[in-house]
Chain A
Amino acid sequence: MTMSSFLSRCENLDILPAGIIILESDYTVICWNRTMEEWTGIPREKVLGRDLRDLYPHLSDRKYALRIGQVFEGGAAAFFSTQFHPHFIPAPLPGGGLRFQRTTVHSVPEGNKTYALVFIDDVTELVQQVRAYREMRDRALREVRERLEKEAALEESEAKFREIFESANDAIHIHELREDGLPGRFIEVNAVACKMLGYSREEFLAMTPLDLVRGGHSRPLDVIGREILEKGYAIFETEHRRKDGGTVPVEIHAHRVIIRNREVVLSVVRDITERRRNQAALLALTTELQTIFDNAPAMIWYKDTENRFIRVNPAAAASIGLPREEIEGKSAYDLFPELAEKYYRDDLEVISTKKPKLGIIEQMQTRNGGIRWVETHKVPLLDLEGNVSGILLFVNDITERKMAEDALALANRKLHLLSSITRHDLLNQVSALKWYIELARDEKELTTIREFLDKMKKVLDTAEEQITFTRDYQEIGVREPSWQNVADIAARIREGFPPSGVDILLEVDDIEVYADPLFEKVIFNLFENSFRYGGPSLSRIRVSAGEEQGGLVIAVEDNGVGIPEEDKKYLFRKGFGKHTGLGLFLSREILAITGLSIRETGVPGKGARFEIFVPEGKFRRLTRERTGEKG
């Protein structure tokens, strides 16, 4: 068929669903079928006879021109793919966008001319399908790759798990989980589990964890099961039976886990034999320490580094008269407001040096305001890093020891004083005696000599008195002071006097005073003075006691003649008095040993009244009461 005959039937090309264009070698359009009209909206009348490149300038580009040129030269058909030339002749789609095209340009020789037949397929649907296919395939590939990656990760995870499983120091059990939370059969165990109990892996897999249990669990089994179901884990202790019959105490951390899409329990089983042994030893040690703590006569205080009491023992609590609960947690500033700062300075020294500070002699205040002397040893408590976490105080009440020491020191001092006075007095008497001897030696008059002898005897009597005095006085401070019951002493003395018609009234509660053992002689001396110097009007001696500012006053008074005003200022001097008893001088000295003092406050003509003042801390009240009696 020639081109002219072909063209004569060109209308037949209208029935083709493809776009058909026929070009002369100068791109003049000689055929533009109906499909092209429909696609481009350009009727053939407006295209035929025109240079196609005027309508579609891109066709002048080399990539088209060269290849179409080859076709006009009789070359093979040129194929223009959708990928590189999606819109050979741009043709809009009804819904927007352009049709995708696949174009072939064929050479059609006709006589000495060669025409180009442009055949355009609409591959829009194909493109959409391929794109959908690609998207679907890429998604599928991604999913496959993700799955592969997950599988690889899972494999890696399982490999790691296996490594941990086999290299763990503890036994690991994996077993089934029943619906009630109780364990089912073993699924897997590690080598440590086999070694711990002596069973082979196969023997394990034929058992359940309950087959291993000897005795009970640290908590009821159903509670453990419920915890595993509800919380996902449970920690408990039990004892496992070894294959050789022995037992192993174990601590079990059981966790509900998913392995290979299956809910199971993974238990880490730790042999706690050593721990139990240590716990028992620790318990024994703790008990021992608690016993010591509770029963030690010394006060034990645990303090933190901020002057706060953490724990105290009963002795410590008793010492300040508060229950332990009211001490623990309190600051020293609350309990000992006046002394806390001093205490804290010592604490800080211990904290900074990390060394004990021993033998601190200090005061401690009791709840009722009393002051006690204590000896404190402070020891730093170090934590595992070597830092001071607190301070341990051992405190001994040395009040009585301190008082005794003080009293002894005073007694020694007084004895020394007395010794020197007495020596001086005796030397005076010796000098006087020597003087009278010298006078007598030169005297010829017998009467005068007798007078000298009388005087010499008087000197010797005085010396004898002074020597006797030293015998009594030497008893002062020889023995340690002690707590003495005033009422008992007074009653005992009253019993020692024969009936005389004088009422002796004892109006003293059960009070003890801390005094030299000669305290009883002081009271006796006061009674005796009343009998001796009270005169005919004496009918009553009364002993009473009452607290005053800063201490206690014990009064011994009578209704005798009293003490003349002019004698009062000499009452307590050595040698004063009408009798050679201990005398008020010695009484005052005895009382002073422990810090007590005495004075006379009676009214001349109405009776004598001696008041013994006992300072705070040197007296104490007992619980029982004593009523007054008449002698």
Chain B
Amino acid sequence: MNAGEESIDAIRELINIGVGRAAGLLNDMTGTHIRLQVPEVRVLRYSDLTREQRLLDSAHLSAVTLRFSGSFSGMSMLVFPEKSAAILIMALTGEKIEEPDLDALRIETLNEVGNIVNNAVMGSITNVLGERLIYSIPEYREGGIGDILGREGSPDYDWVILAVSQFIIEDLRVVGNILMIFEIGALDTLLEKITAVMGSHS
């Protein structure tokens, strides 16, 4: 992989655009003022993902995944620590509950939030690149980082774009992570396309 700083900046920009759209949709949907920020975007090896202790070291992670295939293939994933996910859902729905936990309905709600964020980010990228991809049905997973990656644990994955996102609802600040996991060569293809688009616009 040969990711130049400009390409990373472009990816960061695309993710920010997608996240901004997602925030707008969530605002419309919930009537709650929500801001979504992406303070950190990094590219790392898929094999190094399990060592991201600061962000992903929890035995109880909740993830909403979206697999995509086409000119570049992989998986987009919004990951929260389980408690943070429940707190976020409660903040969005205004529920008053004794104990923040994730039952079937809340998982569904989280699924929709993940669906909105994943779709917005992927839509932002594909719109700019003029690409059409094929998407799977959104899927909810939970467990440790190994569990949520497990089914996709084949060596076909190569690089990962890790975008740290913050959901800010009034005084509440919930951190989630957007993972864009690419199959071998897919990130290179994406970067090439981005470079090409940037070149055509320069």
Contact = CB atoms under 8 A, between A and B. Distances in A.
Interface of A: 61-63, 66-67, 70, 73-84, 102, 104, 106-107, 123, 126-127, 130, 133-134, 137-138, 141-142, 145
Q: Which residue, A67, A80, A123, has most C-beta atoms of chain B within 10 A?
A: A67
Interface in B13-34: 21, 25, 28-30
Nearest to A129: B104
Nearest to A133: B103
B66 interface: yes
A255 to B, nearest CB: 40
A438 B125 CA distance: 181
A123 B112 CA distance: 15
A130 B104 contact: yes
Interface of B: 21, 25, 28-30, 66, 68, 89, 93, 97-99, 101, 103-106, 108-109, 111-112, 115-116, 118-119, 122-123, 126, 132-133, 135, 137-138
Given A66-B25, A81-B112, A75 B122 contact: yes
B108 A63 contact: no
Contacts of B119: 67, 70, 75-76, 78
B28 A83 contact: no
B138 A126 contact: no
Nearest to B120: A70
A587 B29 CA distance: 137
Contact of A77 (B97, B133, B135): B135
Contacts of A80: 112
B109 A84 contact: yes
Contacts of B111: 79, 81
Contacts of B99: 137-138, 141
B138 A67 contact: no
A130 B98 contact: no
Contacts of B21: 66
B135 A81 contact: no
Given A70-B119, A76-B118, A83 B93 contact: yes
Given A138-B97, A142-B98, A79 B138 contact: yes
B66 A76 contact: yes
B49 to A, nearest CB: 22
> Considering the complex of A and B, which 9 residue pairs feature the smallest CB-CB distances, nearest first?
A76-B135, A81-B112, A83-B109, A79-B115, A63-B28, A141-B98, A81-B108, A138-B98, A63-B29
A137 B98 contact: yes
Given A74-B132, A81-B109, 18 more contacts: A61-B28, A67-B25, A74-B133, A75-B123, A75-B126, A76-B68, A76-B118, A76-B123, A77-B138, A78-B115, A80-B112, A81-B112, A126-B105, A127-B105, A130-B103, A134-B103, A138-B97, A138-B98
A102 B115 CA distance: 14
Given A76-B118, A126-B105, A84 B29 contact: yes
A83 B112 CA distance: 9
A66 B118 CA distance: 14
A82 B105 contact: yes
Nearest to A100: B105
B137 A134 contact: no
Nearest to B116: A67
Contact of A75 (B25, B29, B135, B137): B135
Contacts, number: 86
Contacts of A77: 115, 135, 137-138
B37 to A, nearest CB: 21
Nearest to B114: A79
B97 A84 contact: no
A83 B93 CA distance: 8
14 contacts: A63-B25, A63-B28, A66-B28, A67-B119, A76-B135, A76-B138, A81-B108, A81-B109, A82-B105, A83-B109, A106-B137, A133-B103, A134-B97, A141-B98
Contacts of A67: 25, 116, 119
Nearest to B135: A76
Nearest to B89: A83
Contacts of A145: 98
A113 to B, nearest CB: 13
Contacts of A81: 105, 108-109, 111-112
A79 B28 CA distance: 15
A310 to B, nearest CB: 69
B106 A83 contact: yes
Contacts of B132: 74
A66 B115 CA distance: 13
Q: Which residue, A67, A81, A127, has most C-beta atoms of chain B within 10 A?
A: A81
Contacts of A123: 108
A62 B28 CA distance: 7
A63 B109 CA distance: 15
Contacts of B123: 70, 73, 75-76
B122 A76 contact: yes
B118 to A, nearest CB: 7
Nearest to B111: A79
Contacts of A62: 25, 28
Contacts of A126: 104-105
B125 to A, nearest CB: 11
A106 B97 CA distance: 33
B113 to A, nearest CB: 8
Contacts of B135: 75-77, 107
A126 B109 CA distance: 14
Nearest to A84: B29
A61 B106 CA distance: 23
A126 B104 CA distance: 8
Nearest to B118: A76
Contacts of A134: 97, 103
A104 B136 CA distance: 12
A102 B140 CA distance: 15
Nearest to B68: A76
Contacts of A106: 137
B82 to A, nearest CB: 16
A84 B30 contact: yes
A80 B28 CA distance: 13
A141 B100 CA distance: 12
A79 to B, nearest CB: 4
Nearest to A102: B108
Contacts of B98: 137-138, 141-142, 145
Nearest to B127: A73
Q: Which residue, A73, A80, A84, A102, has most C-beta atoms of chain B within 10 A?
A: A84
B112 to A, nearest CB: 4
Contacts of B122: 75-76
A63 B21 CA distance: 11
A577 B85 CA distance: 145
A127 B104 CA distance: 9
Nearest to A142: B98
Nearest to B107: A81
A134 B108 CA distance: 15
A130 B101 CA distance: 12
Contacts of A75: 119, 122-123, 126, 135
A104 B108 CA distance: 11
